[in-house]
Structure 1
Amino acid sequence: MNSLAHVTLEVDDPDAARRFYTAAFGLGPQVRLRASTEPTSGFRGFTLSLDVPRPADVDSFTETALQAGATQLKPPAKSLWGYGGIVQAPDGTIWQIVTSTKKDTGPATRTIDNVVLLLGVQDVKASKQFYTEQGLKAAKSFGGKYAEFAPQDADAVSLALYKRRGLAKLAGVSEEGTGSHRITLHGHAGNFTDPDAFRWDSAVTTTSA
C-alpha cells in the first residue's frame, strides 16, 4: 500500500525555517526542509494541520508560533467540529492547529497527535480516483467535497483532499495563487505528479526540521 510518509517544504532560507519550526512546534521527521528559489505567490493550494489533544495545546502552539514570527490568520476559537486557529509561517506555509475537543481537561501537553496535509484540488472525486490508482487506500470521503487516505503507520503524515476554493476560505486567504506549490510529497510508489501539479518523490531519510 502506498501512503504519504513525509513532506518537504521548499523555503528561501532553510536555517531560518528550521529555527522557526523548532521554536514554534518542535516538529519531527514528518516535515523536512529544502532550499528553493522557485517563484510562488498567493495561496499555494495546501495547508498543514497539527491535530492536538485539547484546546490548551491549540493555544500553546499558536502562542509559540506567533512568538517565533508567524502571522495569525484566524485566532483560536470554538466551532462545530472542535477548537482551532490558523497561522502562516514566515516561509509562507499555512498551518491549522486544531483539536476535536471543545472543553479543556487540563494544561497543555505540547503533544502532536497527527500531522495532516490537506490539498486544495479542483476535482475531489477525480483526485481521489487518481490517488487510489497510485496505491493509496481511501479511508473516508464526503461526495465531491472531501476525501482522506489511511496512513501506513502512526508516524506518517495523513493526506486529505478538499476543494481548493473551500480550503482557501477555511484558511482565511484568497484562493488566487500562481507558481510553485513549494512542497514535495514523499511516498512509497515512486515519482509522479498529481492532477493539481503536486509533486511526489520516493520517501527518503533526511534531516528533519
Structure 2
Amino acid sequence: MQAALADSWDLLTPGIALKRYGACGCTHCALDALISLKQTHGFKGGDIETIECVSHPLAKKVLQHARPDTGLQGKFSMEHSLAAALDGMLTLAHYEDAAVQREDVRRLVPRVRFVVDEALESSPSADAVPAIVTARLRDGRAFRERVDVPLGDRRRPLSDADRRQKLATCVALGADVAAVDALWNRLERLDGENDWRALWTLAAQVA
C-alpha cells in the first residue's frame, strides 16, 4: 500500500490544470478562440459587428449572467468575458466591479450572441467546454475558430511566459517587479529549495 501511494502523484501524472483567465472555466475555450482570432487578424472592439459563441449546454447552465453588474457576476458571464477580451490581454482587473460597469465594455456585451449545441461534445468537463467563436466585423469580414481544449489544460500546458504572467496578475497589482521575479525563480527551482522560511517570507512580501 505504501509503495502504491508513493508512486502515484496526481500533481505529476496526469498533472494539474492552470486557469489562464480569472473567470469560470466554461468560458476558457471561447476566450482562447476569440483571443487567437484577434491576434491573427488584428481587430479591436470598435471593429466588431457581432460575436457569436456556440458552446455546450453545460456552459449555458453555469454562465447565467448575460448582463452582469458586478465582478463576481462577470466571472460567470460569457458575454462579459468575450467583450472584455477585446480590450487586451484578459486579467483579473477585468473582473472587478468597475471593469464590468465600464461603458465601452457594456456597449460590446449586447453584440455577443451566446448559443448552445449539444453536438459539440457529449460529456464536457468543467475545465474543457468546447466552443466555436465567430467574429463578424463592421467591414463585412468574418473569422471563425473552434477550441476544444483550453490553454492551461494538461493536454495544452501553458508556456513558461504564460505561467510567469499568470503569477504577476495573481499577486497584488502594486507588487515590486524584482520581488515577483525572485519568487518566480525560487518556485521554478522548488525541488532544490532548502530555506522554506525565506520562501514564505518572499511570498508574503509579493502578496
TM more than 0.5: no
TM-score (norm: length of structure 1): 0.27
Higher relative contact order (CA 8 A, sep 6+): 1
TM-score (norm: length of structure 2): 0.27
Return the structure number with greater strand share: 1
**Highest CA radius of gyration, 1 or 2?**
2
